[in-house]
Amino acid sequence: MLPLKRNEEKLLSDVEVDMLSSKIVSFCQGKNWWFDDVEPTYRDALIRIGVDVSSDFSQFYLHVEDGPTFTSRNGEIYQICWFLNNSDYDGRLKMVRDTLKIPEPYIPLDSFPGERGYFYNKETGEVFDVGLGDSLREFLGGNMKSRWNGFNEFIEWFFDI
């Protein structure tokens, strides 16, 4: 596959947004978190970690931003693209994989506060709610069922949409 050719100065607007639910888009637009144009460095960051840029996960992180994190009554999650470009998220990812033995397709969505965290499976689109102890053993053993079957479902729950 040939590398993408693009003008670094231009924002990308060719990424489809049909993967996100209209409820999420409306909610984010109402909060002034929605941006139609895509920052090329955000798209590049998702490609770098092997995430499909047409997925609902990518569409959320390419178009929605309220700073480095999003907060709701259900916790705080990263703006993944912001963290990939402005922090040592890659180092955190390596630490999570080395320390907790989290497999490659899983991406942490938060800082694992209270010894519990959300993990996105970039291969299936499922989101898991994993804690230390039995929960982690069940997850690592492949015996845990995802709490959310897709990222849309997770975001709608997270923000009470």
Partnered with residue 129 across adjacent β-strands are 118
Q: Has residue 8 got a pLDDT over 50?
A: no
pTM of the model: 0.84
Please state, as a whole number, how many other Cβ atoms lie within 10 Å of the Cβ of residue 97.
14
Note the pLDDT tens digit of each residue in 38-90: 999 999 999 999 999 999 999 999 999 999 999 999 999 999 999 999 998 88
CATH number where 79 lies: 3.40.1580.10
Domain count, the chain: 1
> Within a domain: residue 35?
yes
> Within a domain: residue 5?
no
> Within a domain: residue 15?
no
> Within a domain: residue 83?
yes
> Within a domain: residue 16?
no
What range defines the domain where residue 88 resides? 22-158
Beta strands (DSSP E) in 19-156 are: 69-72, 75-78, 106-108, 116-121, 127-131
Mean pLDDT score, 81-108: 90
> Within a domain: residue 17?
no
Q: Which of these, 121, 157, 113, lies nearest to 139 by C-alpha position?
A: 121
